[in-house]
Amino acid sequence: MRLNLEHHYWLKDSFLGKIGRMSSNLIVLNISRLKISNNSFIELFGSSRPIEDKEENEYDDDEPPVNNHYLKNLEKLDISECFLVETSGMLAMTEACGDALKELKASNT
C-alpha cells in the first residue's frame, strides 16, 4: 500500500501523527515538504509502544522481541524537506521499521 502526501500542506500536524495507526500496513510513504513536528513523526511510528522485552534467558532461541510499532513493514520513506524532524524522530523510525526499510530520502535544502 502506498500513500503520497507530498505538498498536502493543509493536513494538520495532529492528523499526520495518526497515519501510522490508521494505515499500519503501508509499504511506501511520502510526506516530503510537510511541516510534521518531531512529536507527530514519533507518533507516526508508535514509539510510545515499545518492543516488548522479556527477562534475560526467557526467550526461546527462535523467539525475538515482539515489535508493536506502527509501520513496521515500511520499505520506502520520503521525508525530504521535513525540517522539523530531529534525531529522536529518526531513532523512533529506525526502531519501528529499520529492519524492513530499503529506501530513505531525507534531504533538506
Tens-place pLDDT, residues 42-80: 999 986 544 444 455 554 555 555 667 889 899 999 999
Predicted TM-score of the model (pTM) = 0.80
User: How close are the terminal C-alpha atoms of the chain, in Å?
Assistant: 29
Q: Please check whether residue 57 lies inside any domain of the structure.
A: no
Report whether 26 contacts 74 (CB < 8 A): yes
Per-residue pLDDT at 54: 47
The percent of residues in the chain predicted with pLDDT above 90, rounded, is: 57
Dihedral in degrees, nearest 10, Cα atoms 16, 36, 81, 11: 50
Q: Please check whether residue 9 lies inside any domain of the structure.
A: yes
Query: How many domains does one find in the chain?
Result: 1
| Cα 39–chain centre separation | 11
Q: Please check whether residue 62 lies inside any domain of the structure.
A: no
Which structural domain, as residue segments, surrounds residue 84?
A: 2-51+67-105
